[in-house]
Amino acid sequence: MLDIKIPIGLMFSVFGVIITIYGFMTRNDAELYQKSFSHNVNLWMGGLMLIFGAVMLLLVRRGKSKT
């Protein structure tokens, strides 16, 4: 019917790209990251979401090549 890993993978990849770029653009904005004790949470979480999304999409490809 629909492999749910596809929308999950796509959505988190999109989130990952957007949040990572935003984190990169705001890397010198000390005021923004005051809340998170100067950790650039957007870079970390963006990266994490990108990896998660990519893994989901990879699983979809692997599943397809098997069948």
Chain contacts with another protein (rule: CB under 8 A): 1-2, 4, 7-8, 10-12, 14-15, 18-19, 22-23, 26, 32-33, 35-37, 39, 41-42, 44-46, 48-49, 52
Concatenated DSSP letters of 6-41:
HHHHHHHHHHHHHHHHHHHHTTT-TTGGGTTTT--H
| Alpha-carbon span 8 to 13, nearest angstrom | 8
| Least distance CB 8 / another protein (angstroms) | 5
Residue 54 DSSP symbol: H
Cβ closest to another protein, residue 36 vs residue 61? 36
Closest contact distance (angstroms) between CB of 18 and another protein is 7
